[in-house]
Amino acid sequence: MTIDETASIANSTLGEVEVREYVTVHDSELADGARVYERTSVKKSVFDGPTVVNANCYVENAKLGERVQVGPNASIVGVTHDLTDAGMEFGNDRFEEIVVEDGAFVGAGAVVLPGVTVGENAVVGAGTTVATDVPSECVVRAESNTRTREL
């Protein structure tokens, strides 16, 4: 296990992992082979490992399967709020877990929204915002906002 001295780990279970500079891991479980790169925040999440989360990412309320790769500056955010008066009250968050299945890839700068499942071996292209489930072995690209079966 390699954890940089600048990392902050709280209430978490870590296997044989690599955690680099200025990473925060809170209330999470990271299995053997997980690698979390610089300035990334992981909260209330489970990584099955081996999994790679690149620099400057934000991962909250998510389950990442084995062999998942997350590109730099991506956000996988499983917390939202209702668009009602009560939902808009400060601190009245609603959690909807995100699942990124085995072998999936989330590209640089992509955003995966609450409640979404990214299927096995699927690809979320760089810069894409994903608001609905992505089927297994499917590619989602930002420029066309379409899904194709290219894998």
- Burial annotation 100-136 (CB, 10 A radius, 16+ → b, else e): bbebbbbbbbbbbbbbbbbbbebbbbbbbebeeebeb
42 burial level (CB within 10 Å; 0-12, 13-18, 19+) = buried
What residues act catalytically?
Answer: 81
How much of the chain is in helix, strand and coil states, percent to nearest 5?
0, 40, 60
